């Protein structure tokens, strides 16, 4: 079996991987290899033909493929090596990778690895959807792939369960393609997707959104014939008497994304329950020296702009690691989520560099502030007009504010 | 269309296919009639996949005898068919004194049935086999095993096909006529099948086949068992099967954890009579109960570990008000000479299937001469392991020989394009998405096809010319797509 060596291997050619590889090269790492399992670069952006990408990064609204292309062009102009149609099947703690492609099955020994594998969708099984298992039930992303990339229409009369962004985008997409979208049902009392998508994908097309409502049974033996929906109480039980049948031939699920960390786990990277991603420090390094993580495999982002920004930092830090930047004996300040915060990352920082906290709140709120405290001492405070679990909040922290801090707590008050 | 055979088997479950494969050793024309578009679409693909030792059934019954014999035959059969099998053993666990008496009774019963190696273990010996297990004593049955139930069913059919058996899929028996020279079966599609020997292996529909001949003494009561499939992350938490000691009045063997040969763990099955023989729904109450019991048995489970729920139906002969077990019916009918009738083959039907096939072969021999085929192909080609289960060097060699091994189509289960192509080009000609799934394991992982279904669609379109209307999930009206994007 062939074995090759590379200074830095980036796993994944979506927005995170591209950005990390480019930043690593820009920061002086010459020997960068990016591995992508698809035959083209760009990742899931390729099937996101709607617009709205790049508002923060480029100040304009691009489609997914357009956004990706900017990075792909830059990637190629730097002459970075890419292995396409190649999948990483194993990652050892010593940063040795087993990869497979039509060209062969080989081992790659890497000086550093950036994990940028993205995420996958929760399925009917993951939410234990009751009822039968007929044809016509798809995750929203799979339907998006079939419709946008393969010219295949999944159905004519649809119900969408979950108000995640992909589901909202697909509600509009199906409508534009002539399907009837009956409604979007969301078990939570608030929408999971971005407010702009609720407006542009549902309200603008007259598609109703029912909050606190879920599908409690699937009907149909061969092809889906309908779903029973009901209001859901705070303990997640259907409210008797609120059941109603919604005839449909298609059910799209947009019920959450899960970071794709099987490789990370196989390498025994320490994981963080709240994000389902790796625990990282302010250089995006995981518990395994030289293994970095960024993008949706680290935590699920709301906007690709933040993915690119985060991954660029991770790529730069990985380049520094490869080039032997001394890292010994850095202090470790633990960061934990306090009241009102679902998760915060990074999980530890050195206190030697400025960094950006990324966090999500537990519930929608208005006119509150994100507080960052070291014990009783205020480190930072960011006031926000509107807070929503769908929207990631970022808070910049100056290193100079962290002197003598042992741990930080982040809360919403 | 009219077809003529020596033997016609109705039902392509594990029992029908085991019989077909057994008869394919002999010079006779054999066919299998199946109403679904693939083999093993009923009970045979919807069970725990446990190879039972034979402790549970009363000595002298067919169930007891065929179970123990089937268990003994299965190892060699699986080697010949390239089907995964592991004799991992089972602990039946006692929680109190009454349970201990049950264990002793089971041990005696098992020994009377000829089950080898039974032993009652104290708490320490149990712990040595499965650390962390709760209970005060356990009955260890080392010949209990696990097997891939649909893998075996498909392999039996493949192998029978290779040795000349015809499979007529998507053909449902609608009428049966008996005459002195045999049977004429008409299907809902209008085809006619003539045969000298007719074998009823219709499982959940066995009573309906009987009724077509005017035999009214049997009735099947479908009894549903629901399961949850757990992520492979938990593989290794269980080294042996663990069952509670059976309690009085139970119709099944109780909810338990079962390892599968592919590395998942199953929780289930529940036990609930339903009205229809195709009611495979899963219910929120049972799902909640299985999750609760699953958490008690394996505290490390998180909600993300539940990959899928499914249900299967037991073909019970006992109505809900009686419950319990009736013995298998395997009879050569004197009122309809040449009709071999199998009714009520519920658990342990999978384990018993090779022994049932032997027994039915004997009944066929009373009607037709058994002349061994010189050209019988004894082994199914290929290997039991999937690509991803092979050592790295072997993987590298395979990819070097055939690039389709290097292209991974299903990322969760690491299934290669070669394996998907082989599943599409299956010997039986089954062409459903479920057929590809059961043969290759693609779409069976934690993302349930979210990643690989679009890729499989690409393969079917590019290499086999599929149009959107050609994709069926499993049955003739289970269309996946409505057409092209306008």
Q: What is the mean pLDDT of residues A182-196?
A: 95
State residue A404's pLDDT score.
84
Of B52, B56, B159, B256, which one is the catalytic site residue? B52
Q: What percent of chain A has pLDDT over 70?
A: 99
Q: How confident is the model at residue B253 (pLDDT cuts 50, 70, 90)?
A: low
Q: What is the mean pLDDT of residues A105-125?
A: 97
State residue A383's pLDDT score.
96
Q: State yes or no: pLDDT of B131 exceeds 90.
A: no
State residue B251's pLDDT score.
47
B306, B405, B485 ranked by CB distance to A151: nearest: B485
A222–B482 C-beta distance less than 8 A: no
Q: Which residues of A touch B276 (CB under 8 A)?
A: none
State residue B316's pLDDT score.
96
Distance, in Å, from the CA atom of B482 to the CA atom of B348, rounded to the nearest integer, reads: 41
What stretches of A119-270 show up as alpha helix (H) in DSSP? 140-150, 165-176, 195-197, 262-266
How is residue A55 annotated by DSSP? T
* Secondary structure (3-state) at A363: coil
CB atoms under 10 Å from CB of B339, counted, come to 24
Residues A412, A387 contacting (CB under 8 angstroms) = yes
B303–A123 C-beta distance less than 8 A: no
Mutate: best of A124, A125, A175, A259, partner B, most B CBs <10 A = A125
A124–B308 C-beta distance less than 8 A: yes
State residue B468's pLDDT score.
96
Closest residue, chain B, to A218 (C-alpha):
B281
Closest residue, chain B, to A174 (C-alpha):
B485
Distance, in Å, from the CA atom of B269 to the CA atom of B224, rounded to the nearest integer, reads: 8
A107, A142, A150 ranked by CB distance to B450: nearest: A142
Taking all residues of chain B, what is their mean pLDDT, rounded to a whole number? 95
A102, A136, A223 ranked by CB distance to B403: nearest: A102
Q: How confident is the model at residue B249 (pLDDT cuts 50, 70, 90)?
A: low
User: Dihedral of the CA atoms B197, B201, B207, B210 (nearest 10)?
Assistant: 0
Taking all residues of chain A, what is their mean pLDDT, rounded to a whole number? 96
B267 forms beta bridges with: B228, B257
pLDDT tens digits along A215-263: 999 999 999 999 999 999 998 899 999 999 999 999 999 999 999 999 9
State residue B239's pLDDT score.
85
Quick check: is B52 catalytic? yes
A133–B310 C-beta distance less than 8 A: yes
B408–A142 C-beta distance less than 8 A: no
Distance, in Å, from the CA atom of B423 to the CA atom of B433, rounded to the nearest integer, reads: 10
Q: How confident is the model at residue B254 (pLDDT cuts 50, 70, 90)?
A: low
Which token pair is A227? 């779903």
* Secondary structure (3-state) at A10: strand
Mutate: best of A86, A88, A105, partner B, most B CBs <10 A = A105
pLDDT tens digits along B55-77: 999 999 999 999 999 999 999 99
pLDDT tens digits along A143-188: 999 999 999 999 999 999 999 999 999 999 999 999 999 999 999 9
State residue B470's pLDDT score.
97
The whole-angstrom distance between B454's CA and the closest CA on chain A is 6
Residues B413, B444 contacting (CB under 8 angstroms) = yes
pLDDT tens digits along A292-348: 999 999 999 999 999 999 999 999 999 999 998 756 667 789 999 999 999 999 999
Q: Which residue has the higher pLDDT, A75 or B301?
A: A75
Mutate: best of A103, A177, A218, A221, partner B, most B CBs <10 A = A221
* Secondary structure (3-state) at A146: helix
pLDDT tens digits along B396-409: 999 999 999 999 99
Q: How confident is the model at residue A44 (pLDDT cuts 50, 70, 90)?
A: very high
State residue A326's pLDDT score.
59
Q: Which residues of B touch A249 (CB under 8 A)?
A: 482
B233, B284, B448 ranked by CB distance to A130: nearest: B284
State residue A25's pLDDT score.
98
Distance, in Å, from the CA atom of B109 to the CA atom of B348, rounded to the nearest integer, reads: 16
Phi, psi values for residue B152, rounded to 5°: -65, -45
pLDDT tens digits along B402-450: 999 999 999 999 999 999 999 999 999 999 999 999 999 999 999 999 9
Closest residue, chain B, to A158 (C-alpha):
B482
The whole-angstrom distance between B393's CA and the closest CA on chain A is 6
The whole-angstrom distance between A100's CA and the closest CA on chain B is 5
B200 forms beta bridges with: B10, B341
B461–A101 C-beta distance less than 8 A: no
What stretches of A301-390 show up as alpha helix (H) in DSSP? 304-322
* Secondary structure (3-state) at A257: strand
State residue B132's pLDDT score.
81
CB atoms under 10 Å from CB of A24, counted, come to 34
The whole-angstrom distance between A92's CA and the closest CA on chain B is 13
Q: Which residues of A touch B473 (CB under 8 A)?
A: 134-135, 222
Residues B215, B200 contacting (CB under 8 angstroms) = no
pLDDT tens digits along B310-356: 999 999 999 999 877 899 999 999 999 999 999 999 999 999 999 99
Q: State yes or no: pLDDT of B97 exceeds 50.
A: yes
Closest residue, chain B, to A87 (C-alpha):
B408
B451, B457, B475 ranked by CB distance to A150: nearest: B457
The whole-angstrom distance between A122's CA and the closest CA on chain B is 7
Q: What is the mean pLDDT of residues A11-39?
A: 97
Q: Which residues of A touch B404 (CB under 8 A)?
A: 102
pLDDT tens digits along A383-401: 999 999 999 999 999 999 9
Q: What percent of chain A has pLDDT over 90?
A: 95
């Amino acid at each position: 079996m062939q074995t090759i060596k590379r200074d830095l291997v980036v796993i994944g050619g979506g927005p995170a991987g591209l950005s990390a590889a480019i930043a690593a090269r820009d920061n002086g790492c010459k020997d960068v290899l990016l591995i992508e399992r698809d035959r083209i670069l760009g990742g899931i952006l390729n099937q996101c033909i709607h617009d709205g990408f790049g508002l923060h990064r480029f100040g304009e609204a691009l489609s997914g493929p357009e956004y990706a292309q900017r990075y792909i062009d830059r990637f190629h102009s730097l002459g970075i090596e890419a292995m396409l149609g190649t999948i990483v099947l194993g990652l050892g703690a010593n940063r040795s990778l087993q990869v497979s492609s039509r060209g062969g099955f080989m081992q790659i020994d890497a000086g550093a690895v950036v994990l940028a594998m993205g995420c996958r969708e929760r399925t009917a099984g993951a939410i234990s959807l009751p009822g039968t298992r007929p044809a016509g039930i798809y995750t929203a992303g799979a339907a998006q792939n079939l419709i946008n990339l393969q010219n295949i229409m999944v159905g004519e009369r649809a119900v969408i369960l979950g108000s995640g962004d992909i589901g909202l985008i697909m509600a509009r997409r199906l409508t534009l393609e002539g399907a009837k979208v009956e409604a979007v049902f969301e078990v939570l009392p608030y929408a999971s997707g971005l407010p702009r998508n609720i407006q542009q994908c549902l309200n603008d097309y007259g598609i109703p959104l029912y909050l606190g409502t879920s599908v409690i049974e699937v009907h149909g033996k061969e092809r889906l014939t309908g779903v029973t929906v009901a209001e859901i109480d705070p303990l997640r039980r259907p409210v008797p008497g609120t059941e109603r049948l919604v005839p449909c031939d298609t059910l799209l699920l947009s019920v959450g994304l899960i970071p794709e960390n099987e490789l990370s786990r196989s390498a025994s990277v320490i994981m963080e329950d709240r994000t389902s991603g790796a625990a990282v420090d302010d250089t995006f390094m995981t518990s395994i020296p030289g293994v970095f993580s960024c993008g949706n495999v680290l935590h699920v982002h709301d906007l690709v702009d933040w993915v690119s920004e985060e991954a660029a930092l991770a790529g730069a830090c990985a380049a520094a690691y490869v080039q032997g930047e001394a890292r010994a004996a850095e202090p470790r300040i633990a960061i934990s989520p306090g009241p009102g915060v679902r998760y915060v990352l990074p999980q530890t920082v050195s206190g030697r560099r400025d960094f950006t906290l990324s966090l999500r709140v537990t519930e929608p709120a208005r006119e509150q502030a994100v507080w960052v405290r070291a014990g009783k001492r205020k480190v930072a405070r960011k006031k926000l007009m509107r807070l929503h679990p769908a929207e990631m909040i970022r808070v910049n922290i100056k290193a100079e504010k962290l002197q003598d801090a042992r741990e930080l707590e982040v809360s919403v008050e | 269309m009219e077809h003529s055979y020596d033997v016609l088997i109705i039902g392509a479950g594990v029992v029908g296919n085991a019989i077909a494969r057994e008869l394919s050793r002999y010079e006779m024309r054999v066919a299998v009639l199946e109403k679904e578009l693939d083999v093993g679409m009923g009970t045979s693909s919807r069970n725990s996949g446990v190879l039972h030792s034979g402790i549970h059934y009363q000595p002298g019954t067919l169930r007891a005898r065929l179970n123990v014999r089937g268990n003994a035959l299965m190892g060699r059969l699986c080697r010949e068919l390239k089907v995964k099998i592991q004799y991992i053993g089972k602990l039946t666990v006692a929680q109190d004194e009454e349970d201990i008496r049950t264990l002793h009774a089971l041990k005696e019963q098992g020994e009377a049935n000829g089950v080898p190696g039974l032993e009652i273990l104290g708490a320490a010996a149990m712990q040595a086999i499965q650390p962390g297990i709760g209970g005060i004593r356990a009955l260890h049955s080392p010949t209990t095993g696990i097997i891939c139930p649909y893998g075996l069913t498909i392999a039996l059919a493949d192998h029978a096909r290779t040795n000349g058996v015809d499979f007529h899929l998507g053909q449902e028996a609608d009428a049966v006529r008996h005459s002195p020279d045999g049977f004429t079966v008409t299907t809902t599609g209008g085809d006619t099948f003539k045969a000298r020997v007719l074998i009823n292996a219709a499982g959940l529909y066995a009573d309906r086949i009987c009724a077509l001949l005017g035999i009214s003494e049997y009735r099947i009561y479908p009894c549903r068992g629901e399961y949850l499939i757990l992520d492979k992350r938990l593989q290794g938490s269980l080294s042996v099967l663990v069952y509670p000691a059976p309690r009085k009045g139970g119709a099944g063997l109780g909810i338990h954890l079962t390892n599968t040969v592919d590395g998942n763990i199953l929780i289930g099955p529940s036990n609930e009579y339903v009205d229809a023989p195709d009611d495979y729904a899963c219910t929120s109450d049972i799902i909640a109960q299985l999750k609760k019991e699953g958490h008690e048995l394996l505290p490390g489970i998180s909600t993300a570990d539940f990959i899928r729920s499914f249900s299967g139906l037991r073909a019970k002969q006992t109505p809900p008000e009686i419950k319990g077990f009736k013995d298998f019916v395997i009879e050569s009918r004197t009122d309809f000479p040449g009709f071999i009738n199998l009714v009520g083959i519920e658990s342990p039907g999978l384990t018993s299937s090779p022994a049932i096939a032997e027994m039915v072969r004997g009944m066929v021999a009373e009607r037709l001469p058994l002349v061994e085929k010189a050209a019988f192909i004894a082994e199914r080609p290929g290997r039991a392991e999937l690509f991803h289960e092979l050592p790295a060097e072997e993987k590298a060699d395979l990819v070097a020989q055939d690039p389709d091994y290097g292209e991974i189509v299903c990322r969760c289960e690491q299934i290669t394009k070669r394996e998907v192509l082989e599943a599409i080009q299956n010997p039986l000609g089954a062409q459903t998405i479920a057929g590809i799934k059961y043969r290759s394991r693609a779409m069976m992982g934690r993302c349930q096809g979210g990643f690989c279904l679009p890729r499989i669609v690409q393969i079917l379109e590019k290499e086999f010319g599929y149009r959107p209307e050609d994709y069926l999930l499993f049955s003739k009206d289970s269309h996946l797509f409505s057409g092209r994007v306008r």
